[in-house]
Amino acid sequence: MSPSLLFYLGTLYREAAPYRDEGFVGERWGSQGSGLLLTTGSKILLLHRSPDVEEPGTWGIPGGAVPVDSETHAPRHPLDSALLEAKEEMGSVPPHRIVDQYVYSEASGFRYTTFIGKVAANIDHVWAPQFNWENTQHGWFTPEELETLDLHFGVKAILKHKAAVLFSLVSRQACFQP
C-alpha cells in the first residue's frame, strides 16, 4: 500500500476509534454527562423515564454519560454526546438550533452540560419520538403544566437557571419556583 493510503486508513481508524463509557467515577456514571432540552419558546419537550433507569417515573430529558476514546481517554465533545444520546433515546432529533447551555457541576469534578435547542413552534405536528427502553412517553409542556409533574432533579435545576431562555414569552419567576 502507498504511504498516502496508509495515512488515510490510519486517519479513518483514529476518527472511528470506539468510545466507551467510563463506568462509575465516584458516585456518578462517568466523569461528565450531557443532554438536550428542546423548546418551542412556549413549551419544552420532556420524556417520562422508564422503571429501568435512575430516577424512574420522573420527567427528564434525553442524555447520559459522555464516553471517552478507548485509546486516548479523551472525552467525546459534550454536544456530540448529547445529540447521540438524544437520537438513541428518541429515534431521531428534530431540526433545531442550539441557543444556550446550562452546566451543572459538583465539587467532585462531575459536570453535566445541558444544551438548549430551539425548534419550530409546530414541531409536535411534524415530529414524534420513537423511544428505546429508557423512556415510555413524551410531552410538550408549558410552565404551568410543569408544576403538576414529577420532574427529574436535573430538569428542576435547568428551570431554575434557564427558564427565561426556555420560555421566551414569560418571566423566569413565573416559570418555576423550586
Give the model confidence (pLDDT) of 12-37 as tens digits.
444 555 899 998 899 898 999 999 99
Domain membership of residue 149 as a residue range: 3-175
pLDDT value at residue 17: 59
Q: How confident is the model at residue 175 (pLDDT cuts 50, 70, 90)?
A: very low
What is the DSSP code (8-state) at residue 17?
Answer: P
Strands (E), 70-147: 97-105, 111-118, 135-141
Number of domains observed in the structure of the chain: 1
CATH of the domain at 145: 3.90.79.10
pLDDT digits (tens, 9 = 90+) for 37-93: 999 999 999 999 999 999 999 999 999 999 999 999 999 999 999 999 999 999 999
The pTM (predicted TM-score) of the whole model is 0.84
Distance set, CA 36 to CA 5, 11, 107, 150 (Å) = 38, 30, 23, 19
CB atoms under 10 Å from CB of 43, counted, come to 21
**Averaged confidence pLDDT in the chain:** 87
Residue pair 91/13 in contact (Cβ under 8 Å)? The answer is no
pLDDT of residue 168: 81
The pLDDT of residue 30: 92
For residues 138-159, average pLDDT: 96
Question: What one-letter code names the amino acid at 117?
Answer: G
Answer whether residue 8 shows pLDDT above 60: no
Residue 167: Cβ within 10 Å count: 23
3-state DSSP assignment of residue 81: helix
